[in-house]
């Protein structure tokens, strides 16, 4: 399983990659593996708002429906509409073509509350052992 350095991670298994004052958001390799085949993604519309650790959308596998939580508060600049036709990109390329949102980060200090790749890997080990 892969957790790229430079990204920040939530306990709910989302990642965020900051590029200037914008950031890409998606779900982690661990999340997509746990979910299995992703068959549906529901995302907010561009122009909408997302809030720190509140649900912004839904990802569905064959079996299950799971909420998506936003790593930061901000406004939605872009959504990955390609996922509406090809939700499987979340499985095949979770940190690349499987991205979900581009948000304008409202409060950069929230990023500091998120885990680094190392911390996230340790968190997963801990959760599994627990």
Partner 1 sequence: MALQATTSLKRTPLYELHREAGAKFVDFGGWEMPVQYGSIIEEHKAVRTSVGLFDVSHMGEIEIRGPRALEVVQRLTTNDASKLEVYQVQYSTLCYPHGGIVDDLTVYRLGPEHFLLCVNAANIDKDFSWIVEQARGDADITNTSAQIAQLALQGRHAQATLQPLCDLALDGVRYYWSAKGRVKGIEALISRTGYTGEDGFEIYCPASQGSELWRALMEAGAPYHIKAIGLGARDTLRLEMGYALYGNDITAETTPLQAGLGWIVKLNKGDFIGREALAKERGEGIKRRLVGLEMIDRGVARAHYHILVDGQVVGEVTSGTVSPSLNKSIGLGYVRTESAKVGTPLQVDIRGKPAQAQVASMPFYPSQVRKA
Between 10 and 110, CB nearer to partner 1: 10
Segment 17 to 46, residues that bind partner 1, using CB under 8 A: 27, 31, 34-37, 39-40, 42
Number of Cβ within 10 Å of residue 111's Cβ equals 14
**Using CB under 8 A, which of 21, 48, 51, 65 touches partner 1?**
65
Q: Are 97 and 81 in contact (CB under 8 A)?
A: no
Task: Tell me: does residue 93 bind partner 1 (CB under 8 A).
Answer: no
Among candidates 13, 36, 33, which has minimal Cα distance to 124?
Answer: 13
> CA-CA distance, 52 to 111, in Å (whole number)?
10
Which residues lie near partner 1 (CB under 8 A)? 12-14, 27, 31, 34-37, 39-40, 42, 58-69, 84
């Amino acid at each position: 399983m892969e957790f790229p350095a430079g990204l920040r991670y939530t306990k709910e298994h989302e990642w965020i990659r900051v590029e200037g004052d914008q950031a890409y958001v998606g779900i982690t390799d661990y999340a997509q593996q746990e979910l299995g085949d992703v068959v549906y993604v529901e995302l907010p519309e561009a122009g909408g708002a997302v809030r720190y650790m509140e649900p912004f959308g839904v990802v569905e596998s064959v079996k299950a429906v799971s909420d998506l939580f936003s790593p930061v508060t901000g406004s939605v600049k872009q959504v990955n509409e390609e996922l509406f036709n090809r939700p499987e990109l979340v499985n095949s390329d979770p940190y690349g073509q499987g991205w979900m949102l581009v948000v304008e980060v409202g409060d950069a200090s929230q990023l500091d509350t998120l885990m680094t790749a190392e911390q996230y890997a340790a968190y997963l080990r801990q959760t599994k052992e627990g």
